[in-house]
Amino acid sequence: MNIILLGPPGAGKGTQARKLVDERAMVQLSTGDMLREARSSGTEMGRIVAEVMDKGHLVTDEIVIGLIREKLTTGMAKGGYIFDGFPRTLAQADALGVLLADLGQPLDHVIEMRVDDAALVARITGRSTCAGCGEVYHDVTRPVPADGKCANCGGTTFTRRADDNEDSLKTRLLAYYKQTSPLIGFYYAKGMLEGVDGLAEIDDVAASIAAILD
């Protein structure tokens, strides 16, 4: 089963994708994670994308489609893929359709995570991530355990993303509405769009997603 999690920054796509990875034999393909990996590895591509990401703009279609193509053509995951943060433009959606068709793979569900903008600012500005395993925490709603150790892997280093600030978020939201939200109509017209309330508790969102997948 291959699915897309669609929604603005801070909607909880990464958190839900990680739960699906833990609970089903699915593989998370997050273009944001791939780009952060590229920038920290100091490659030429990493240098090019770093500035774009920090400002909150979208990286070119060519780069992200290339990253996804590379992952998909090196062997399919048994339990299927969760596309997290991809596609973000109509060109990316078209490219994904072609890539999956070439591999004889279906796109089973497109799940829109619905949230309101006011909640996103609070979510994004309090967010931190375990450097060891990527577990996501939040200063108010899910603080790092009192012993300072990640509940998932025991790691003690937590990082905040350079683009998780109010200025970048404004640009990221604008990019979402201008470039990504047309995908809602695109997949709706194909009869593939399903929605969940992204403002519900993490486990309740997960249950809504499970109800769609099963």
Residues that bind ligand AMP (CB under 6 A): 9, 31-32, 35, 52-53, 56-59, 64, 85-86, 88, 92, 163, 172
Looking at beta carbons, which residue is closest to ligand AMP?
32
Pick between residue 156 and residue 159 the one whose CB is nearest to ligand AMP.
159
- Which runs of E-coded beta strand occur in the chain? 3-6, 27-30, 81-84, 109-114, 127-130, 136-138, 158-159, 193-197
Q: How far is the CB of 49 from ligand AMP (least distance, A)?
A: 7
Instruction: Phi first, then psi: give them for residue 177, nearest 5 degrees.
Output: -70, -40
Residues 71, 62: Cα–Cα separation, whole Å: 15
Q: Nearest Cα to 16, choosing from 196, 199, 206? A: 206
Mark 178-205 as b/e (b = at least 16 C-beta within 10 Å): ebbbebbebbeeeeebbbbebbeeeeeb
Q: How far is the CB of 83 from ligand AMP (least distance, A)?
A: 9
Q: How far is the CB of 172 from ligand AMP (least distance, A)?
A: 5
Pick between residue 52 and residue 149 the one whose CB is nearest to ligand AMP.
52
User: What is the maximum span of the chain, computed from C-alpha positions, in angstroms?
Assistant: 49
SS3 35: helix
Q: Of the residues 36, 39, 88, 123, which is catalytic?
A: 88
Pick between residue 64 and residue 110 the one whose CB is nearest to ligand AMP.
64
Q: Of the residues 36, 39, 123, 172, which is catalytic?
A: 172
Pick between residue 31 and residue 128 the one whose CB is nearest to ligand AMP.
31
Residues 188, 180: Cα–Cα separation, whole Å: 14
Q: Of the residues 127, 142, 170, 178, which is catalytic?
A: 127
Q: Of the residues 13, 18, 19, 39, which is catalytic?
A: 13
- Is there a catalytic annotation at residue 160? no
Pick between residue 35 and residue 209 the one whose CB is nearest to ligand AMP.
35
Residue 149 structure tokens: 């150790």
- Is there a catalytic annotation at residue 190? no
**Residue found by looking up tokens 């998909």 in the block:** 72
Q: How far is the CB of 24 from ligand AMP (least distance, A)?
A: 21
Q: How far is the CB of 116 from ligand AMP (least distance, A)?
A: 18
Q: Which amino acids are annotated catalytic?
A: 13, 88, 127, 161, 172
